[in-house]
Chain A
């Protein structure tokens, strides 16, 4: 069945009013209608009617989406363009096979500059980088080797991944919540300090923290590329792993992973698999963001976060913003001794990472990120703080391109300043 059939009714909701033109970060850089939500919806409608092909021009248009959800939030008719784009990408990869999809996107990119991509990437990153990372990791999906540009600053890989440092179960006080921690690839391999901070904070609250050993990549980067089969496979493995322990909450400190578990997993399987759908839904309902949960469990940041004076500004990750988690991290930061929160202009605007968008449209992704960097620098903050390791990587890259030394930190790192060794 044509995957687009699944969103047939959603496609009808779009009245082409153009409201998405005001909010789409991809449109803000490309400036042409095929890049905006309304254009992609129109193309999906024509695909469904069968009067355009899944050809290069369709690939090009559908690749210009960060899946940031800005258009969905502001759409007067609730058109789920993020979902529509994912389904269109699934159709694209299904028709020509995933590698052909990548190849087609590659063709689009090569049109601009063959030199920039390809050769340089492998040399600079080196095989070492990838040897440390398992086949199924999202990092591989984030950086398909031939496409990673030479200019990009990649965070260093941890000597020992976070999950190798800790036992599976870290017991807490009796009667306190049991928390299953879904770590995510970026935290595990690149930002283990985020995991350490999470661990310290929930242990401070007396919680039992469980880090299931066989958890996989959440799959979101694959979803962004339309590789739904891979995502379904990962989701099923994660499901089994997360169900292995009796838990009060499934906690993520990565907005992207949280978004996948909370928002995208329940839509992964259709009505044909009611049992699986129900299990995914149960997982989704238990999934909470770390800052959200810390606040709910009554964390007092005066006990955990006190430290030297620091001026910070907060960036809203799309995958927290679209789940209405914007207030909690700010309130926790404001309650932390020594921390001064200075709001930046457009804190809710996407950083430009957008799943694999940054790989295929690195220059545009950087242009979007440039506005973000300027807003950060304007606040005069010592550090930009956010709740997503994906954003952290993109923000670091953007600031380094501007030769700026503002630190990039996770909310939890600030909150755990006084309890971490």
Chain B
């Protein structure tokens, strides 16, 4: 338990209403989507960068951990208060400060919800493409800290590709600006890119300058059903090999389709072994041509059926297949480990085959779907934790899945990050010298190790 003196100081900094110590409040800020749980000693809701700065200075003086938190929707425990201390919730900082239609940039605070930002810029005919599945509730600060992705990244890139500048409170409490408002800029190290995906270990983001694009005129959605995984995978490389980059190329394997079909009966033909949800966007004329060309290209690849949406409602109906995946998975087994490996897109069939072997070896159902266009596959290892031994088996299977991705020149995680959940495996991907370089940066910026300690690197690495 915290010294009352520290609580009082925190209350002086952010106001008494914005410091909570009831056990109920601690519980409500001790979880995220990993289903792990740790209780902090206090929950603090700062209202400005200056307040964040004062809290971090206090943390350095009193040596307590500070865990920055947005919506708490992460999959790897990035926001979890692993060793007590305080959870620093930035959702009061939730203003869109400006949308500059001449320079196509916007400046926001970190607590703005991703979709709300998208809707606001779209009102002005502008476009912020990154679309993590949690966009209706995730915060932009969390998106930057975790470098979130999403289906549209195949064409537009990830969150990092849209961040031009930041205001950051360093672990010392110093407030700095990184990057800026210009597309070009080569003065000094690129701290902006360093902070994107730093999982709240190097600073607390208090402002973000985003690059925006003109909103595409139209989009076209197609649901294509193949008689084999290889056909679907081949379709991905064929489409892109023919110089068409769709907005999204979402993939669902047979196990996924069975789950969705069993629960929602959407009428996917029984001969379908894999599905690609393909969307193109741009000028109206161009996307009609692209859609026609895509159909022509994929027809010889074992195409069973191709449904093309004629309007927004039909498009939504096709997306429904994809959106129903997560709710359907629980029918396989109650607990899941949701991993998000990436391989070069031409290697998607290889990695799926490797995962099939792992599935057979461990006799645990593995359901694969995800963003095939950029080789990012969500590998869902479905277990029942109440069956003795299953969890251990799952961890062994996960290690093998990661190794399979790495063997194909891929990576363990494309979107979710390391946090706590992937720590046990990072030695598979990072060599000691790489980790040493990273830890040197962390130690230089956070000598007292107060900001999100115990994340990303295992203590004994």
* Contact present for B28 and A15 (CB under 8 Å): no
> At the interface with chain A, which of B18-26, B192-200, B231-239, B341-349?
B18-26
Tell me if B91 counts as interface (CB < 8 A to partner A).
Answer: yes
**A61 contacts across to B, CB distance below 8 A:** 24, 28
> Is A282 close to B, CB under 8 A?
no
Selecting from A17-25, A179-187, A203-211, A355-363, the interface stretch reads A17-25
The majority secondary structure among interface residues of chain B is loop
A sample of 19 cross-chain residue pairs with beta-carbon separation below 8 angstroms, ordered by A number, consists of A15-B35, A17-B33, A17-B73, A17-B134, A18-B72, A18-B134, A20-B137, A22-B137, A31-B92, A32-B28, A33-B25, A34-B24, A34-B28, A39-B28, A42-B27, A52-B27, A57-B22, A57-B23, A77-B330
Q: When each residue 2-35 of chain A gets 1 if its CB lies under 8 Å from chain B and 0 otherwise, what string results?
A: 0000000000110111111110000000011110
- Give the distance in Å from the alpha carbon of A18 to the alpha carbon of B69 in the complex: 13
Instruction: Scan residues 8-44 of chain B and give those whose CB is less than 8 A from a CB of chain A.
Output: 20, 22-25, 27-29, 31-33, 35
Chain A at the B interface: SS class: helix
B137→A18 contact, CB < 8 A? yes
Expressed in whole angstroms, the minimum distance between the Cβ of A66 and any Cβ of chain B is 18
A residues 113-142 with Cβ under 8 Å of B? none
The CA-CA distance from A18 to B326 in the complex, in Å, is 14
Residues 78-92 of B, flagged 1 when their CB comes within 8 A of A and 0 if not, give 000000000000011
A18 B27 Cβ-Cβ under 8 A: no
Interface residues on A, range: 20 to 34
Within 8 A of A (CB), among B321-336: 326-327, 330, 334
- Chain B residues near A248 (CB-CB < 8 A): none
Asked if B307 lies at the interface with its beta carbon under 8 angstroms from chain A, I say no
Q: Give, as a whole number of angstroms, the nearest-CB distance from A52 to chain B.
A: 5
C-alpha spacing A15/B327, complex, angstroms: 11
* B113 contacts the other chain (CB 8 A): yes
For chains A and B in complex, what number of residue pairs have CB atoms within 8 angstroms? 71
Task: Return chain B residues, CB-CB under 8 Å to A21.
Answer: 71, 73, 137
In which size bucket is the chain B interface? 20 to 34
The 10 closest A-B pairs by CB, nearest first: A33-B28, A22-B136, A18-B73, A21-B137, A39-B28, A57-B24, A22-B137, A57-B22, A76-B327, A16-B31
Mask for A140-169, Cβ within 8 A of B = 1, else 0? 000000000000000000000000000000
Are A77 and B327 within 8 A (Cβ)? yes
Q: Are the CB atoms of B25 and A15 closer together than 8 Å? A: no
B335 closest partner in A (C-beta): A15
- Give residues of chain B (91-137) contacting chain A, Cβ–Cβ below 8 Å: 91-92, 113, 115, 134, 136-137
Q: How far is the CA of A57 from the CA of B138 in the complex (A)?
A: 26
Whether B24 and A58, one on each chain, are in contact in the complex, defined by CB atoms closer than 8 angstroms, is: yes
- The interface residues of chain B lying within 8 Å CB-to-CB of A17 are 33, 73, 134
In the complex, what distance in Å separates the CA atom of A316 from the CA atom of B136? 22
Please state if A15 and B24 are interface contacts (CB–CB under 8 Å).
Answer: no
A18-B134, A57-B24, A58-B24 in contact; A33/B72 too (CB < 8 A)?
A: yes
CB distance from A91 to the nearest CB of B (A): 15
